[in-house]
Structure 1
């Protein structure tokens, strides 16, 4: 067995055995997270244990105890079923076998503009502003519409709850990474506000392969002639987030949120001497909520988000815009308690999307509109049974109308067992890029969109069983996602042009097993394993770049002595080995490429003094793992890295009477 696998199974078996023995002897109590309120799956607040649809939550405490400084690292290290690749320096998400086009990432329940490669710009989200992250697995179009075939990640940001709140923090990390941030807020009578500012700097560095890349043909092995070098590009980032809230009466709440981000990319090599890429994001969200009483409310949302790219030519000191993705989104939502057994959510929504990109013919701008109506009923016929039904009608300006249903059931079995079952219809309208692209890819081939594309539709089935003995939780989740009219790129016979085209069907299936313990009141253990078969094969050969399996193991130990609270956290992320086949048109043969298993550990120590001073020290990649061959599907790690964060909170001083 390889050394990294030995370490993984040693730690996994040790924690499992220790956890089982300790749980059997301890005085048990219910998991605190069960009482946490979540909103993504139902649109209305509901305790985590009562949500009918399988949902995972990353809490504020989880984020603080991990010490992670970026959103994608938080997601990947907390969830076994989430992977990230790296293509041209852009993180690419994969969840349940599907990429960024199929995972809908929301900020406070609202859409965000996208990156060129179908992801959001993860770097522009400040983790210190996050209250929690809610993750709904599987298709769920009823409340959120297109792009939710693979699941939803809803990032809920913090609201200020104190008369005064001020904190400052500074972080340093190996490879010349520096970060400074400030958070300030207040609450006075009917008005509250919260401002967050973050600035970071990362210098670029170089990675060197220590082995030759190989392609395995049926009759021969072809290896690279030289060891490749990879450039990890650095950059600067500034993010500003502002939240305002005003309650003129007890029934009316007005919220305004704004954000501005600018990121400069330090392009590597000769290109970097000529130009640097700049990325901008400007967003605004207005929410008006009127509560008729504690059970009935009407909400109005207006969301604006604009993500842009530009080339800054350094010697000329000139800038040229190359990309703009903009959305305007208006929603009206009614939340009504019909009776003590029925809660109804209904809404109307208008979404306008526009796109300008270098991938279109010069000067072209395209846009699309979607008008939607939806209704969802949360019915509780018995205290132990809950049924969620919903239906959404979308009318797209290019593709006409589409109905998306969902049905979910939650049943409490005996005293500590819960069964969840759900069926959800999902869909994804072809993106503006897929419809209108006409781009010469570096002189290698032409990429052409198609206006004859049909929307993708999916049927998602999911079954979840949860067992909660005292101080622990076991969950098994099994899913199947059947996607029709899947959109993919297909080359012509000459290989000089690639077209967007509707493939016939993709069938994805898998499962996830998670286990959580609390031991002796101050020791927590979480373990999870996820397996996915995304069904991508050609002539019986696996062409998928989704790793079939992944696991997470995390343990946290808390210790309080006088005014000091210390939290030790050890977490490991394992990604399974995969073989991927490609086709060599010149040889008319398939070849195989190997991507080795990955196992990386992170040790984090958080010391807090009177909730005023925090010192966070982390060792990332604890056992100094380095791939022998770097590529888009291997972590771009230089080896073991160190991180130090110092935070000072002024709250206790400012809020003294």
Structure 2
């Protein structure tokens, strides 16, 4: 018996030794164009992106290659052009130097196609705001950032100082906001709570303008904004940051990440506080409510094997608004989810299954009694499956489907009642690399909404052709928005002035979007021109109903929105960079329809910066501005008739900001900013005028604790 056991043990040792000897260990360094080591650069197998590692403080990496592999390594780093290469067979070594991505076109994007694709190769027009740009803008939440970076976007106030969005004629219920590809629950006056989308630990933001319902379904009539969180790529990181500005505007944050073995984790906490602002002049409002927020997020990834990984996430959000001395509005969110991804042998197929949960509640705190009365709750449970099959070198076939259960309890329903519905969909998309110059994308999606009894087939077709330094893109996309539970069942007393009623017979909105883009790139300069046309049928809005003696949700005649964008940017090795963007929007509403337009026809943004970095000190000084033209619109003067209107002129304005970001020591960064340099103040505070009292100053500090000790 002992002889048999000895033979088995020896056989196991021989097999283990053979397996180990069959493995291959490669190493090397990753540097920039000047030979400086790049810390935390990602090094992975090209056909197995989840088999990889990151460079250490000296830019060095070591990677174990599975047996039988003839590896091609892919190296990437934020702000640099990715490179691939094969390690030497004799030395098992591969050293690579990465060049800066001055135009940003080497960024990998996913929103327009649901599959990773370099921005320069994406047939669907996608705007990307990078982590570096987010850091330099120093925005607290997504509204501040989008207004500073993209023309045609305006965040303003609706009634009761609730934030509302206008993106080139489309409101908040027509622009779909995603967090790492997942929908966000809750709305107020057709807009999500944008304060939930804070900018800490954001890798990038991808914006796809125009209908995207063939991939994302309802609400993606006017576009998609996807906020993508960064991954933990280094052994550990820790950051503490703070910012203080005018009106006791405070922001404190901290984040911690680690990567160890099969696990990596990213935790973020942020707290903000702002006092009430007395505007000191007449207007639709004279005081901006004070508020405070807490935002806590956790993301944990487990790489079970080189082919299978799981990502779990959880979040808590709290916001309190000081509406009056007697009442404080409270908003809470609890969110979570888990996603699993498996890559099949050969690297041509992968499957992703995800579950997500999001609950958004509203309540009113009565300060005298301390009673916290909840009167709104939106709960979404979603399940998604996605399958990708690669054919040839770059062709990808994507198929998938979603199921969502939507529950809504609201103070706007009769007797604070509740409603629920389920939605399901199936979609398919072909991403084709026809030639090195020509690529195309085509997709279909079918949606069904149970309570609205609405179904829709959305389609998309996009093509890109490259000629020398030019890229030409053209696309058609269909949009779809089902009536919401609120729009179907609302029964709300509007401050004892009139009632607002839902309509169970509403038809879904459907849109047709056409766009053309020409892009020219030479060296460090790029210019893009985009033209588009949107036609939206059965737009849902409210109109006066004489029989009900109140407002009711109805479908209106087709709405037509057209325009064009122009963008130009340049960046030189000396550190100088500049960009300018202009957007023209024309919104055509048929006379007599119960909708007026406050879309500003002309908007623009501009930025000039100078960036210099040395070994122990660096700075970046930036002058940025945004311009919004005036707009003349008709306002209804009576709720009993849509025949009585008066002309109203909303004035244009310009806002300029000067900021100085300094790296004063290893891991220590200080930002100083002066906003509204021209000291602009509205003579009358309309809901869509900026709530500024003049020039304001702010200062912030960010400390990367891990860099101090490395």
Partners of 1:520 and 1:91 in 2: how far apart?
40
Task: Look up the match of 1:234.
Answer: 290
Secondary structure in 2 matching 1:454? coil
Partners of 1:542 and 1:404 in 2: how far apart?
26
Task: Look up the match of 1:283.
Answer: 335
The Cα offsets for residues 67-121 of structure 1, whole Å up to 9 and x where unpaired, read as 2222101011100121112122222111121100100000001100132212121
1:445-460 mapped onto 2 (5 Å cutoff): 445-460=498-513
Partners of 1:549 and 1:493 in 2: how far apart?
37
Task: Look up the match of 1:193.
Answer: 265
Task: Look up the match of 1:220.
Answer: none
Query: Are the aligned partners of 2:541 and 2:594 in contact in 1 as well (CA < 8 Å)?
Result: no
**Segment drifting more, 396-405 vs 150-159:** 396-405
1:248 aligned to which of 304, 323, 326: 304
Give the superposition deviation at 1:313: 1.0
Secondary structure in 2 matching 1:362? helix
Task: Look up the match of 1:265.
Answer: 321
Task: Look up the match of 2:464.
Answer: 410
1:573-592 mapped onto 2 (5 Å cutoff): 573-585=626-638, 589-592=644-647
Give the superposition deviation at 1:340: 2.3
Partners of 1:374 and 1:626 in 2: how far apart?
49
- 1:594 matches 2:652: no
Query: Are the aligned partners of 1:542 and 1:579 in contact in 2 as well (CA < 8 Å)?
Result: no
2:421 aligned to which of 365, 368, 381: 368
Partners of 1:576 and 1:238 in 2: how far apart?
35
Give the superposition deviation at 1:589: 4.5
User: Unpaired segments of 5 or more residues in structure 2?
Assistant: 1-98
Task: Look up the match of 1:336.
Answer: 389
Task: Look up the match of 1:44.
Answer: 115
Query: Are the aligned partners of 2:662 and 2:671 in contact in 1 as well (CA < 8 Å)?
Result: yes
Structure with larger Rg: 2
Secondary structure in 2 matching 1:433? helix
Q: More relative contact order in 1 or in 2 (CA 8 Å, sep 6+)?
A: 1
| Cα distance change of structure 1 residues 484 and 204 upon mapping to structure 2, 3 Å threshold | same
Task: Look up the match of 2:692.
Answer: 637
- 1:614 matches 2:669: yes
Secondary structure in 1 matching 2:309? strand
Query: Are the aligned partners of 2:625 and 2:656 in contact in 1 as well (CA < 8 Å)?
Result: yes
The Cα offsets for residues 389-438 of structure 1, whole Å up to 9 and x where unpaired, read as 0000112213243111100001102x110000000111000011100000
The Cα offsets for residues 635-654 of structure 1, whole Å up to 9 and x where unpaired, read as 11111111111111111245
The Cα offsets for residues 315-344 of structure 1, whole Å up to 9 and x where unpaired, read as 111111111112111100001102225211
Query: Are the aligned partners of 1:191 and 1:247 in contact in 2 as well (CA < 8 Å)?
Result: yes
The Cα offsets for residues 272-319 of structure 1, whole Å up to 9 and x where unpaired, read as 222211110111121101011433210011111111100111111111
Partners of 1:295 and 1:611 in 2: how far apart?
43
- 1:59 matches 2:59: no
- 1:522 matches 2:575: yes
Task: Look up the match of 2:440.
Answer: 387
1:428 aligned to which of 471, 481, 491: 481
| Cα distance change of structure 1 residues 503 and 288 upon mapping to structure 2, 3 Å threshold | same
Secondary structure in 2 matching 1:35? coil
1:54-203 mapped onto 2 (5 Å cutoff): 54-87=125-158, 88-203=160-275
Secondary structure in 1 matching 2:424? strand
Partners of 2:327 and 2:167 in 1: how far apart?
34
| Cα distance change of structure 1 residues 126 and 589 upon mapping to structure 2, 3 Å threshold | closer
Partners of 2:195 and 2:542 in 1: how far apart?
28
Partners of 2:297 and 2:650 in 1: how far apart?
39
Task: Look up the match of 2:606.
Answer: 553
Query: Are the aligned partners of 1:615 and 1:644 in contact in 2 as well (CA < 8 Å)?
Result: yes
Query: Are the aligned partners of 1:30 and 1:470 in contact in 2 as well (CA < 8 Å)?
Result: no
Partners of 2:595 and 2:361 in 1: how far apart?
36
Task: Look up the match of 1:504.
Answer: 557
Q: Size of the alignment, in residue pairs?
A: 607
Give the superposition deviation at 1:57: 0.3
Query: Are the aligned partners of 1:30 and 1:471 in contact in 2 as well (CA < 8 Å)?
Result: no
Secondary structure in 1 matching 2:325? helix
The Cα offsets for residues 494-552 of structure 1, whole Å up to 9 and x where unpaired, read as 89400100112111111111111113541111100111112135359993111111100
Query: Are the aligned partners of 1:542 and 1:581 in contact in 2 as well (CA < 8 Å)?
Result: no
| Cα distance change of structure 1 residues 273 and 516 upon mapping to structure 2, 3 Å threshold | same
CA RMSD of aligned residues (A): 1.9
The Cα offsets for residues 161-213 of structure 1, whole Å up to 9 and x where unpaired, read as 11111011111010111121111111101001111011111110111336xxx
- 1:346 matches 2:346: no
The Cα offsets for residues 8-40 of structure 1, whole Å up to 9 and x where unpaired, read as xxxxxxxxxxxxxxxxxxxx9973411111110
Give the superposition deviation at 1:610: 5.0
Task: Look up the match of 2:73.
Answer: none
| Cα distance change of structure 1 residues 252 and 540 upon mapping to structure 2, 3 Å threshold | closer
1:443 aligned to which of 484, 490, 496: 496
Partners of 1:296 and 1:228 in 2: how far apart?
57
TM-score normalised by the chain length of structure 2: 0.83
Query: Are the aligned partners of 2:310 and 2:341 in contact in 1 as well (CA < 8 Å)?
Result: yes
Task: Look up the match of 1:605.
Answer: 660
| Cα distance change of structure 1 residues 541 and 304 upon mapping to structure 2, 3 Å threshold | closer
Partners of 1:240 and 1:51 in 2: how far apart?
33
- 1:533 matches 2:586: yes
Partners of 1:229 and 1:132 in 2: how far apart?
35
Query: Are the aligned partners of 2:186 and 2:361 in contact in 1 as well (CA < 8 Å)?
Result: no
Partners of 2:232 and 2:510 in 1: how far apart?
41
Task: Look up the match of 2:13.
Answer: none
Query: Are the aligned partners of 1:67 and 1:604 in contact in 2 as well (CA < 8 Å)?
Result: no
| Cα distance change of structure 1 residues 136 and 400 upon mapping to structure 2, 3 Å threshold | same
User: Unpaired segments of 5 or more residues in structure 1?
Assistant: 1-27, 211-226
The Cα offsets for residues 338-362 of structure 1, whole Å up to 9 and x where unpaired, read as 2225211110110221111110011
- 1:327 matches 2:380: yes
Query: Are the aligned partners of 1:399 and 1:454 in contact in 2 as well (CA < 8 Å)?
Result: no
Give the superposition deviation at 1:266: 1.0
